[in-house]
Structure 1
């Protein structure tokens, strides 16, 4: 079991399902992405940068998401209050898979 799999296994089954889907999206978009645990959360190398996610009681945090003017209107729907780089995906709603794919693709080109 990888460190990321261990991290995901600590959450409730419904949350684990969403985290596993999110993890798989990284590999779908970037098959050779490197995953690790950084800052106590899953980290995925995308180009010169890393994207991170972590689960909370009511949402999944996705970081850092800034510098993507071409999709800012879509990203703004999920932007955490009082932050410029954090997105919140509520656990009681479907993950915005296409938006996440776009973020990964665009960040990998920066």
Structure 2
């Protein structure tokens, strides 16, 4: 069991289900993602780079794509959510729509791949 698995197992109820859903979508997009930690958060890693974390806070849940540039590109679609350049707040009752979640995560994957592929040249 990795840190993401352990973290999710310690959550309860609807929050646990909502966080598990985010991680399940991320794993669909990156089936070989590994579990690790970044910025003190349990995270999925893609090619060794922090890809996504989903965490529970007192009043909300948070999606962290480990980039300060990605969410700005979805600003129009994030209008109903509280967000900053590095995180989106959501709740189990008001989750991030799957289509939007997949596009946010897809953008993070693309940026990791581009960064690492540039280094290989």
TM-score, with structure 2 as normaliser: 0.72
Matches within 5 A, 1:27-106: 27-46=27-46, 48-63=49-64, 64=66, 66-68=68-70, 70-80=73-83, 83-106=84-107
Shift of 1:77: 3.6
Q: Which runs of 5+ in 2 are unaligned?
A: 112-121
Shift of 1:46: 4.0
State how many pairs are aligned.
108
Counterpart CA distance in 2 for 1:71 and 1:38 is 23
- Structure 1 residue 3 corresponds to structure 2 residue 9: no
Shift of 1:70: 4.5
Shift of 1:27: 0.9
CA RMSD of aligned residues (A): 2.3
Q: Which has the higher contact order (CA 8 A, sep 6+)?
A: 1
Counterpart CA distance in 1 for 2:50 and 2:69 is 12
Instruction: Please say which structure displays the higher CA radius of gyration.
Output: 2
Moved more, 68-77 or 57-66: 68-77
Counterpart CA distance in 1 for 2:94 and 2:44 is 23
